[in-house]
Amino acid sequence: MYYAIIDASGRDSVKFSGLATKLAATGKVFTAMTAILALYKVATSDDKVQEINRQGSIVGGSLLGGALTGAAVSMVCGPGAPICAFVLIAAGSLAGAHLAEKGNELYQEELREFMKWQIR
């Protein structure tokens, strides 16, 4: 009985492999869409440098939030709950992007104020 379980663990699951291939392609499409939308926002903005900083902070915050949540998700969901893990990592990515965007807005406001001082 145990040898059959061990032997089965080495076999490929066609259903799961097909799903993994589809999800990998979907992830690449969403990554490309994110890059295209960020480039569009930069191209159509009045202040390109500020928009580049804004988009960079959003993407960076999203990556950081997703990575930190991904590191902590196993304690909350356990190894057998992929839906729970996906939802928590997506929420962490969104929270990281939101916090980074707000932090960048605060930084840009302070930077504009410092530029008004004209200290030489």
Domains held by the chain: number: 2
Mean pLDDT of 15-20: 84
Same domain, 100 and 74: yes
| pLDDT computed for residue 78 by the predictor | 78
- Main-chain dihedrals φ then ψ at residue 86, nearest 5 degrees: -60, -45
The tens digit of pLDDT for each residue in 22-40 reads: 989 999 999 999 999 999 9
Same domain, 65 and 17: no
Range of the domain at 35: 1-44
Mean pLDDT of 80-96: 90
Predicted model pTM: 0.74
DSSP 85: H
Same domain, 66 and 52: yes
Same domain, 52 and 100: yes
Hey, what are 72's tokens?
Answer: 């902590």
